[in-house]
Amino acid sequence: MFGHGEVVAVTPADPPDPGLARSLDELVGCLRALKLWAGDPSFETITRRINARGEAAGRPAHESARRGTVVDCFKTGRRRINGELVLAVVRALHDDTSYLAHWRQALRVSLAETAAAAQVRVLDRLPEGVAAFTGRRAELALITARDAGVCVLVGMAGVGKTRLAVHAGHLLAAQRRFDTTLFVDLRGFHPDPGQPPAEPAAVLDGFLRLLGLSGHEIPHGVEARSALFRERLTHRRTLVVLDNAAGEEQVRPLLPPGPGSFTLVTSRRRITGPPGTAHVDVDVFSEDDAERLLAGAVPSVAVGSDSAAYRRVARRCGHLPLALSVVAGQMTATPGWTVTDHADRLDERHEHRRLDSGVELALYLSYQHLPAARQTLLRRMAAHPGPDLDDHAAAALLGADVDAAAVHLRHLAGESLVQEPVTGRYVLHDLVRAFADVRAREEDRPVERRQALHRLFAHYLYGAAAAMDALYPAEAHRRPALPERPPTDPALQDPKAALQWLDAERATLVAVCLHAARNGRPEHTVRLAAILYSYLDNGGYPADAFAVHTEAQQVARLIGDSGAEATALTNLGVVCWQLGRHTEAIDHLERARSLCGRLGDARGEARALGNLGVVHGSAGTPERSAAFHRLALAKFVALGDRVGEANTLTNLASVSARLHEPAAALDHGGRALAIFRELRHTGGEATALNNLGDALVMLERHADAVGHYEDALLLFAALGERYGETCALNGLGHALAAQGRVPEAVSRHEAALALAHEIDRPEERARAEAALARLSRPDR
């Protein structure tokens, strides 16, 4: 029979509330009430539902629930209960996510209250260390350099915090000869709800007993026990290891006093601790240490045909110690397989985004303790196509405000589920990403995942548009029109901030373009690629530009958007020109010109003509170049497109200089400069000034040229346009040398050479090298 547990009251309309239960018996009563509420199905029916769900989830047959164990869940008078089975019973009776969450919380509370004290095991010694301890030299140096106080080892599940703490503890004990050593596993993140985080009062009870007190001498209450604990250790040199701590509240009462005491804490969270607390981040192994661990663990396993097999295995394990240990165990248990065979298997599993059970368990231990919103963010981060994200992108994924998202990210980083390699930029390790992806597919509806990505892509689309409006306001009419949306956050009205945002997000913006093109969002690709054109062009990112404009051209053609295809072809032509692929560039631009002609798009045709002029100029046919520019200029003037007119005049100035027509170059450049200043087009103004400097040098007006180059240099630097800086530096060096100011000229050419190397512009590098060689000759 079930006994006499109190049944929580229930209404006919609503299931019983487990949050009202104050003991295990009351919780069992609530479960019995739920069974009645659900129509009182038989225990056989409940068991069958549980096992059907388990089979669908891939659970092995030997883990199937039995009727007897299901019946046990409904019995009162018990000190222990299988929390996971209770949750499975609840799900079989009322499959509602939010209701299940209430049960999960109620189980945690009830089990913590009844089981914590009895289950705490404390030691007056350190656990045995690992004989063949691998790596961690830097971490050990940080730990053993401290004389006293608190040191918190922070890292994700499975990263080897406990092993490191125990090894460091043995080293410290050997060096300092502590009077007392205490160790406890605080179970901060145990997967079994039946083993909740250890209550500090229960831990103190165990510690005080180890210190010689009887049960009668130990007071009740955590405060009184903590005070007695500190009193007992006041004059002792004590080493305390608090393993797997859940948080500061759990740790604080357990800290020993005195300058001779040292406490090592391990946690997945960054615990603040008292003043002077040191934090040591325990990350995955280095590549070399990971290989050493594997080689030492499986010395009898042949390497096989690939001498780099250990490295491949280590990389696929993400250099995570737990994963490496799991794989090493698999290697040992698979006779006849070589390390190469295991590396090949891991490669295949990686392609299908599958995880070995040991690694998945380690990650699940961290995941299941997260609040629901944080779990959701982690799952949705797995779908983020870029290399990293900031709090604004996280807010878009979560559908929350930025402040809330930032808090969630900091907590995820604090629990080592995300990494922060650069301040404010967060990444998922490959293993965590794969784990989160599996969780997302199991826990989130497809429509929810699609909505999250839609919000994310909209964030990047509108952010890019706002940044480009700040950088190139005069070109706004050339960019795709977007529906009205509140101003992007962060504010990007300042050109420098806009450029910094674009630089930080460039890799992600490219990834979004590609992902959208290949996953049914062609309009997004077309828009974002067109918006990013000037940034990628002026910033010197031809590889990125080639990728996004190629995708944009292909998807535009597939959806029959000829205007978008023409734009993408023009942009591709520019990229091919930048890459020195002149034949391809001309082909793309001629196709764009033809499409625009058929569509009656005069502005698009003018753009194609102007860029044909640029390509022919680089290809060594300046006369043809000038002809195309004149055709483009006439169209831009007819359209009233002042930006197009100024850009074309700038190009004509450059071509005129090559044709040794400095007066024409000066005239075209001067007209372009006036228009750019009128439009407050800073980038165009800088380019026009640089071209005017070139024309003035040809006219031997070197003092005027120096002034123009210096003005151009300031503008390029303010915009962060390093290619422009390189050109202006080389021009300035030439003008200074012509004035006899050789040291200054050398300095400018050296700066240009360094910058050209950095941004990989061989033509400007060669120009700087030639000038420096010339200036170093005695007969210059």
Say yes or no: 191 and 334 in one domain. no
Q: Which domain holds residue 328?
A: 287-352
Burial 177-209 (b: 16+ CB within 10 A, else e): ebebbbbbbbbbbbbebbbbbbbbbbbbbbbbe
Share of the chain above pLDDT 70, in %: 89
Same domain, 152 and 101: no
Are residues 169 and 308 both part of a single domain? Answer: no
Identify the residue whose tokens are 């189980």. 107
Structure confidence at residue 159 (pLDDT): 83
Q: Identify the domain boundary among 281, 307, 339.
A: 281
Residue 765 has pLDDT above 80, yes or no: yes
In a domain, 27, yes or no: yes
Asked if pLDDT for residue 65 goes beyond 50, the answer is: yes
Query: How much is the pLDDT for 489?
Result: 64
Which residue reads 């944080």 in tokens? 374
Token readout for 498 is 């806009």
For the ranges 140-154, 472-486, 619-633, the lowest mean pLDDT is seen at: 472-486
Which comes out higher in pLDDT, residue 609 or 558? Answer: 609
Residues 263-283 have a mean pLDDT of: 89
Say yes or no: 295 and 251 in one domain: no
**Angle, CA of 297, 302 and 304, to the nearest 5°:** 130
Give me the amino acid identity at 24: L
Choose the weakest-confidence range: 110-124, 246-260, 734-748: 110-124
Weakest mean pLDDT among 112-126, 423-437, 458-472: 112-126
Amino acid 116: pLDDT: 38
Q: Picking from 72-81, 98-107, 688-697, 702-711, which range would have the lowest pLDDT averaged per residue?
A: 72-81
569 inside domain: no
CA distance 702 to 671: 20
Tell me how far apart the alpha carbons of residues 293 and 302 are, in angstroms, rounded to a whole number: 15
* pLDDT band, residue 269 (cuts 50/70/90): confident
pLDDT score of 763: 80
Overall average pLDDT of the 759-775 stretch: 85
Task: Answer whether 0.95 is exceeded by the pTM.
Answer: no
Range 326-346 average pLDDT: 81
Give a yes or no: residue 141 inside a domain. yes
User: Is pLDDT above 70 for 779?
Assistant: no
> What local confidence, expressed as pLDDT, does residue 336 receive?
87
Q: Is the dihedral of CA 52, 54, 59, 60 positive or negative?
A: negative
What phi, psi does 317 have (nearest 5°)? -85, 0
* CA distances from residue 598 to 334, 555, 592, 728, 769 in whole angstroms, order as listed: 67, 20, 10, 40, 47
In a domain, 756, yes or no: no
In a shared domain, residues 219 and 81: no
| DSSP H or E run through 239 | strand 238-245
Question: 11: pLDDT confidence band, cut at 50, 70 and 90?
Answer: very low
pLDDT at 105 over 50: yes
Residue 294 has a pLDDT of 86
Could you read off the pLDDT of 428-457 as tens digits, one per residue? 876 678 888 889 998 999 999 999 999 999
Spatial separation of the C-alpha atoms in residues 578 and 537, rounded to whole Å: 9
Q: Kindly report which listed range (103-112, 450-459, 463-472, 744-753) carries the lowest average pLDDT score.
A: 103-112
CA distances from 483 to 470, 479, 487 (A): 18, 13, 12
| Residue that wins the pLDDT comparison between 361 and 271 | 271
List residues bridging with 267 in a β-sheet. 154, 245
Domain boundary, last residue among 250, 281, 312: 281
At residue 322 the predicted structure's pLDDT band, cuts being 50, 70 and 90, is confident
**Residue 566: predicted pLDDT:** 96
Residues 226 and 314 reside in one and the same domain:
no
Q: Give the sign of the dihedral formed by CA 716, CA 761, CA 755, CA 690.
A: negative
The residues pairing with 152 across neighbouring beta strands, listed in sequence order, are 265, 279
**Inter-residue contact 385 to 512 (CB < 8 Å):** yes
Verify that 145 and 222 share a domain, yes or no.
yes
pLDDT grade for 326, boundaries at 50, 70 and 90: low
Averaged pLDDT of the chain: 85
Band of residue 366 on the pLDDT scale cut at 50, 70, 90: low
Give 183's strand partners: 123, 241
Distance CA 187, CA 157 (A): 12
111 vs 638, more confident: 638
In a domain, 128, yes or no: yes
Residues 85 and 102 in one domain: yes
Dihedral sign, Cα of residue 112, residue 113, residue 114, residue 116: positive
Residue type, 71: V
Give residue 66's pLDDT: 86
- Among 500, 525, 560, the domain-final residue is 560
State the average pLDDT over residues 481-501.
79
Pick the closest to residue 192 from 63, 330, 34, 86 (CA basis).
86
505 is a domain residue: yes
Amino acid 528: pLDDT: 96
Residue 495 burial (CB count, 10 A): 19
Q: What is the pLDDT of residues 575-587, one digit of tens each?
A: 988 878 888 899 9
Looking at per-residue pLDDT, the higher value among 614 and 7 belongs to: 614
Same domain, 245 and 138: yes
Q: Please tell me the total count of domains within the chain.
A: 4
Residues 207 and 240 placed together within one structural domain of the fold: yes
Residue 5 pLDDT greater than 80, yes or no: no
**Residue 599, pLDDT above cutoff 50:** yes
What is the distance between the alpha carbons of residues 63 and 680, in angstroms, rounded to a whole number?
Answer: 71
| Mean pLDDT along residues 484-506 | 80
- Lowest mean pLDDT segment, chosen from 195-199, 450-454, 510-514, 634-638: 195-199
Q: How confident is the model at residue 80 (pLDDT cuts 50, 70, 90)?
A: low
Residue 489 carries which DSSP code? S
**Domain-located, residue 727:** no
- Do 88 and 231 lie in one domain? The reply is no
> Is the confidence at residue 57, as pLDDT, over 80?
no
Residue 655 placed within a domain: no
Same domain, 180 and 155: yes
Answer yes or no: are the C-beta atoms of 265 and 252 closer than 8 Å: no
For residue 639, give every residue at least 6 positions away whose Cβ sits within 8 Å of its Cβ, in sequence order, or none: 602, 603, 606
